[in-house]
Amino acid sequence: MLFATELDYDAVKYVGDKLKNNKDFWFKAYKINPNTFKFLDFELKNDREFFLDGLSQGFRILRFASGNVTHDRIFAEKAVLLDGFDMRFIAPVFKYEKPFVMQAVKTNGYNLMDADYRFQKYIDVVLAAVKQNGGARKFASRDLEFNSEVGKAANADHSACKKLPSMEEDDKALKSADVLRNRKSSLDREIDAKMFD
């Protein structure tokens, strides 16, 4: 069946009763093609442990969970600690709770994008997100996106941003550009003088 899934992910529609609720089968199928989870059995879509197990493996499967799962507070508090957690697919009520949002951005800085817009203005939340992933800086409010403290935190995370040049490096680059410009104009004058003599 997994071979058939490699050829066409729709093949999992025809999985037998034996595999229908087999968690290992579904995780293997997900590795082959994440779209296979569209055909999850109702029972698995409501299985909190199944989703916690998948999230702990780094699978981004929360979008396939039922509303019963994503609205469950106990599930949400466990899921927010796991690598595969994605705030887009959790119940909206959690996006308004600061402790929950704070943990979500510590797990994945990009969760700041889906937090309530008010949290994008809180420096402590933005700093936590940017320390986890410097690229999360773009989801901060306009004021904080260009805040020096946030910039330092983003630069400290080498995975998302390369370091900005220091003022001295900038000055050196400008001076060398000026020197090159001056040399070019003096060479132009010499060439003009020779051509018109």
* pLDDT tens-digit series, residues 134-187: 999 999 999 998 888 988 888 886 554 444 444 555 556 556 656 656 666 666
Q: Where are the domains of the chain?
A: 2-164, 165-197
DSSP string, 90-153: S-GGGGG-HHHHHHHHHH-GGGGGGS-GGGGG-HHHHHHHHHH-GGGGGGS-HHHHT-HHHHHH
Tell me the pLDDT tens digit for each residue of 61-113: 999 999 999 999 999 999 999 988 999 999 999 999 999 999 999 999 999 99
DSSP 1: -
Q: What is the pLDDT of residue 191?
A: 67
Q: Could you give the CA distance from residue 118 to residue 116 in angstroms, rounded to a whole number?
A: 5
Structural tokens at position 183: 């040399």
Q: From 102, 66, 96, 67, select the one nearest 81 (Cα to Cα).
A: 102
Residues in the chain: 197
